[in-house]
Amino acid sequence: MSKDTIPEATSYEEMAEFWDTHSLAEYWDQTEAAEFEISDDARRHYLVSVDRDLLARVRKLARLRGVSTESLVNLLLAETLGELERASASPA
């Protein structure tokens, strides 16, 4: 592999390792324009206040499970909302 050529990568990890130690400025002439559209369904970030102690608990649990805090919060919200929706739909 030539030092002047962007290497072929077989995984995101390989790409990350390369770009962590190289500057795009050195390889700019090897890039090409790309066209793409961003879906209206793309994730959006929302600012929501969370109790400090609650956030600390979520972060700790996320670390223990090896997932991001964002992923765990989304999972917990989805599960809890599903439970609440099922309880609301049940006849009293």
Domain boundaries, the chain: 1-34, 52-89
What are the pLDDT digits (tens) for 23-80? 999 999 999 999 988 887 777 888 999 999 999 999 999 999 999 999 999 999 999 9
As a whole number of angstroms, the distance between CA 18 and CA 30 comes to 15
For residue 6, pLDDT beyond 80: yes
Between CA 14 and CA 8 the distance in angstroms is 9
**57-61-62 Cα angle (round to 5):** 115
User: Please, which residues have CB within 8 angstroms of residue 55's CB and are 6 or more apart in sequence?
Assistant: 69
pTM above 0.75, yes or no: no
